[in-house]
Amino acid sequence: MNKTITITIALILHTITSHLFSQTLYTNGATLFVNSGGILASNGGISLVNSSQVTNNGDILITKNATNLLPGTLTINASSNLSGNGTYKVEQDWINDAIFLAGASTVNLYGNTEQFITSTNNTISEFNNLILTGNGTGNNRKKTLQNVNARISVTGQLTLNDRECSTQTNDLSVLNPSNSAITNSLVFGNEGFVSSDIPGYLLWSTNSTNAYNFPVGSSNGTLRYRAAIIQPSSSVSNEYAVRMNNVIADNDGYFLSQHDADVSAANTLYYHSIEQTSGTTKADVTLTYFAATDGDWANMAHWTDNTSMWNDMGTTSVGAQTYSSVQKASWDFSDGYQPFVLTNINEELIIPNVFTPNNDGANDSYFVTAKGITEYNITILNRWGDVVFESNDITKQWDGTTGGNLCTEGTYFYFIKAKSASKDFLKQGHITLNY
């Protein structure tokens, strides 16, 4: 026989051997304590009503093993207060219309169907530790913010495991500035991630020069996990907001055909939105891609509102692991809201053939100017075939010395091997050194 238990008096659970099982538990103004070691288990749901005061320092377990309306749901409403440092295991929804004081608690949303964090009056839940688990697939993999924002506290942890946290058009803010405050499964093809729709974001407060991995992705259309990494240049407080938009940028009014002369091609599958919502620190910005399905990319562009076009962001560096990456160092976010897209640019090698290392401030070093180059090597030989200079760094310049000694005037020979995202380069020629 189905039962609804309504509590109208104070109830204290002291030890691990004390259990309360019900189908739906209505606290109805009660003062309820779950002490350390105590377990409050409901096989239908718990609803805090009529200014109930519930303190949980033990374990509250809510299953959906019931036939009542919204089974497995925890509801805080009608001026009620839920606090304590215990754990909450919730199989269905989290509805907060009143007061939740997270303390050092842990909330585990463990259901195998889509679960919602929501409110009917825009009350924001601030969690300490929020853990997402379950075995559901497709939409049932999601833990979704519905019509409300949510936060992780300054001491809390967001543990995604292999689940999708869908913020929809809402924001999920991580206030803990540790770069390990968000963790996710990194099993290829089964990564946990945060997805958002415009204008929703994953926001993260920072206070270090560590790299912050924003595990963003989307299951709208083709399932993609494409993280963005932000590494501030100083340890002052900043906040960054990231979203992966799983559509061609044209769909949102950022037309890829509108670009500067340096851009030759852009990623048509997705783009990222990245904002610096607090602070002014420059940061390294890294975007990831999977070359087998996304293509090869070596550069990055950002949309500039005042010109309504994509602009190349200048020199970038590339990395290759399971997910390849493109990084722009020391990016200045002062332009405000900026979509970012992976690009390739028109490849170019500008190779001079004379320089004068006489310290007069003009043409004192030898260097190659490059665009769109991902791999590079230069070797310079004298007329007897001895190597006087060699480098794999396109930014390194030859000062006309070898082994700390000045080279003599005359003719030298260069050999350059380079690669862009679309072709290989093999260049050779001569250099005249004059004083």
Q: What residue segments make up the domains of the chain, in order of their start?
A: 4-345, 348-433
Question: Which residues make Cβ contacts (< 8 Å) with residue 150, sequence separation at least 6?
Answer: 117, 124, 125, 126, 127, 167, 170, 171, 172, 173
What does CATH list as the number for 348-433? 2.60.40.10
Which residue, among 197, 176, 182, has the nearest Cα to 246 in the 3D structure? 197
Contact predicate 345/420, CB 8 Å: no
Query: Which helix (H) or strand (E) covers residue 348, if one does?
Result: strand 348-350
DSSP H or E segment with residue 418: strand 410-420
End-to-end C-alpha distance for the chain, whole angstroms: 100
Q: Which of 428, 352, 359, 430 is nearest to 400 (CA)?
A: 359
| Residue 306, CA distances (Å) to 251, 256, 309, 336, 351 in order | 19, 16, 8, 11, 35
Please check whether residue 103 is in contact with residue 85, taking contact to mean a CB–CB distance below 8 angstroms.
Answer: yes
Type and span of the H or E element at 292: helix 291-294
Instruction: Give the rounded distance of the alpha carbon of 356 from its chain centre.
Output: 48
What amino acid is encoded at 431 in this protein?
Answer: I
CA angle 352, 401, 435 (to 5 degrees): 65
| Rg of the chain on CA atoms, in Å | 29
Instruction: Report which residue type is found at 422.
Output: S
Q: Are 301 and 308 in contact (CB under 8 A)?
A: no
Mean pLDDT, each 10-residue run in order, the chain (435 residues): 34 40 78 94 93 96 84 94 98 98 98 98 98 97 98 98 98 98 96 98 98 98 98 97 98 97 95 97 97 93 93 84 93 87 90 95 94 90 96 94 95 94 88 96
**pTM check: above 0.85:** no
Question: Can you give the pLDDT at residue 170?
Answer: 98
Q: List the Cα angle 78/83/8 in 5-degree steps.
A: 50
- Outline where DSSP puts E strands in 122-220: 125-132, 142-146, 150-159, 164-166, 171-174, 182-183, 193-195, 201-206, 212-214, 217-218
